[in-house]
Structure 1
Amino acid sequence: MTSTRKSRLQSKIALVTGGTKGIGKAVVLAFLREGASVVFTGSTGQDGPPLERALREQGHDATFMQCDSRSEQQIGDVVARVVEMHGRLDIAVNNVGNIAPSDAPLGKLHETSVDAFDETINRNLVTTFISMKHEIAVMLPQGGGVICNTSSMAGVRVSDAVSAAYHAAKAGVVHLTRKAAIQYASDNIRVNVIAPGATYTEQAQKRFTHEAFDELAASVHPLGRAVTPEECAEVFVFLCSDESAAITGHLMPVDGGWAAK
């Protein structure tokens, strides 16, 4: 029997930054499944081109663009190329962010260098700001769009597992989202943010078995297990689809119940 389920992002044009691994890659796959044309970025040319080839061989409209999201010039060029290719930008997911190598996750605030703090802020908060700046600029004249940012439960709850700079950066992403949502609501631009809990990404796979990571996540997740990138991606699909047309400025924890504790 043929499925009659309507694709929730049919014919939408989407940009996903940080889309070659982890949550970003899961979002790319979910958006393509739901009928979108997707441009996705990565900071190196290692993972993007083979992923693009594989997706195109499956019949998807997927395009990889290498981009350092800390560079306003490069982000601006990517957004301009999306509009040049497709004529518009309907959806943007800003997913770039991690702790700077020099910013020790378990380090004390008073021992953190200004350079390490700045780099973590740049990788998470500044990249989100730059991306939103250029995405909103093209959404305004076309009459609207949807933006969804990736924060972290580190932006909602204090944890011993991450640095002070990472907490500050991810909390900043939450408030930046809320500010943009209020400023551009009358322009038909919705802006929301997702806060993943402990998520079993490729980075976690390098250090833990799935069972061990579930056990670690269970210490903070009432559901007793880790979140998967695919579960996060389903929330992005909802928030970027017309199903959430009345939702903007919203922080959506995807955290196994952590935010309720």
Structure 2
Amino acid sequence: MDTSRNRLQSKVALVTGGTKGIGKAIVMRFLQEGATVVFTGSTAEAGQELEQALANQGHEAAFMQCDGRDEQQIAGVIECIVATYGRFDIAVNNVGNTAPSDSALGKVHETPLEAFEDTLHRNLTSTFLSMKHEIAAMLPLGGGAICNTASMAGVRVSSAGSPAYHAAKAAVIHLTRKAAIQYARDNIRVNVVAPGATATERVLSRWTREELDQLATVHPMGRAVTPEECADAFLFLCSDEAASITGHMVPIDGGWTAN
């Protein structure tokens, strides 16, 4: 069922980490609501394939390859958006995952420093660098909306994430709040979404559906959430419907935080 209300009509949005999972769902949802979307990813093939598929569907979306940990690349993406479209309204910072060398079941005393730092860079540093340049671009344009992707691992401790991942996502939440306060008078809203167990491609490649359902028993609703359900939260926070909401953390967790 098409529930589009053109809530992002004429808006220009950036979605980092937008080639799969929650990021891809956000790209699709924003396009359905009338936005022009630029999305990034580290793999050119996946990004170009999605860009072509979206173009075939009549959507205005552009892919730019970008390593979220590389400040020069991030700055270049944002400069290109402003130069191309003359505006920059929305940014979703969705880059982040556990480093390959960082065991999701690892313990603090067993975690190599390199693995800990790699996970922090993929989640916290990438978010900071994106926000730094997004805010700098939005200030002279009169404001905008930024929404970061954290995780329930940054809110509640579970067995499904490494110590570094828990620390990084908690820091993303607090960084969001700091920026929200600093730029509230500049008409730049900054919020963060914290998904619980989510049935993304990456998660389902690591755990079977049965294992994911077991992890999702921490959700009082008794199931994993979907990328599309997460995307709806990002849509609301980035739309004018949330014009007075900033510094807020929205858990998409099937009731976990209330339990």
Q: Is the 8 A contact 1:18 1:94 kept in 2?
A: yes
**DSSP-derived class of the 2:5 partner:** coil
Structure 2 unaligned blocks of 5 or more: none
Q: Is the 8 A contact 1:149 1:194 kept in 2?
A: yes
Question: Which residue of the other structure, out of 204, 219, 222, is the alignment partner of 1:221?
Answer: 219
Structure 1 unaligned blocks of 5 or more: none
The worse-fitting range, judged by mean Cα deviation, of 150-159 and 213-222 is: 213-222
**DSSP-derived class of the 1:131 partner:** helix
C-alpha separation in 2, matches of 1:111 and 1:6: 50
Q: Are residue 193 (structure 1) and residue 207 (structure 2) matched?
A: no
Give the residue type in structure 2 aligned to 1:153. M
Q: Which residue of 2 aligns with 1:93?
A: 92
1:174-189 to 2 correspondences below 5 Å: 174-189=173-188
When normalised by structure 1's length, the TM-score is 0.96
Give the residue type in structure 2 aligned to 1:259. T
Q: Is the 8 A contact 2:204 2:212 kept in 1?
A: no
**DSSP-derived class of the 2:218 partner:** coil
**DSSP-derived class of the 1:103 partner:** coil
1:52-201 to 2 correspondences below 5 Å: 52-201=51-200
Pairwise CA distance, 1:206:
2.1
Question: In the superposition, relative to structure 1, how do residues 17 and 74 fare at CA in structure 2: closer, same or farther (>3 Å)?
Answer: same
Give the residue type in structure 1 aligned to 2:61. A
Q: Is the 8 A contact 2:4 2:32 kept in 1?
A: no
**DSSP-derived class of the 2:44 partner:** coil
Give the residue type in structure 2 aligned to 1:86. Y
Q: Which residue of 2 aligns with 1:20?
A: 19
C-alpha separation in 1, matches of 2:207 and 2:67: 28
C-alpha separation in 1, matches of 2:109 and 2:29: 42
**Identity over aligned pairs, percent:** 68
Give the residue type in structure 2 aligned to 1:241. S
Query: How many pairs were matched up?
Result: 258
**DSSP-derived class of the 1:46 partner:** helix
**DSSP-derived class of the 1:51 partner:** helix
* 1:202-222 CA distance string (max 9 Å, x none): 012224454x25622442000
Question: Which residue of the other structure, out of 251, 254, 261, is the alignment partner of 2:249?
Answer: 251
**DSSP-derived class of the 2:109 partner:** helix
> Aligned-pair RMSD on alpha carbons?
1.4
Give the residue type in structure 2 aligned to 1:74. Q
**DSSP-derived class of the 1:64 partner:** strand
Give the residue type in structure 1 aligned to 2:104. P
Q: Is the 8 A contact 1:42 1:68 kept in 2?
A: yes
C-alpha separation in 2, matches of 1:4 and 1:224: 26
Give the residue type in structure 1 aligned to 2:258. A
Give the residue type in structure 1 aligned to 2:257. A
Pairwise CA distance, 1:41:
0.2
Pairwise CA distance, 1:54:
1.0
* 1:65-124 CA distance string (max 9 Å, x none): 000010000000000111111111100000000011111111110111111111000000
Q: Which residue of 2 aligns with 1:9?
A: 8
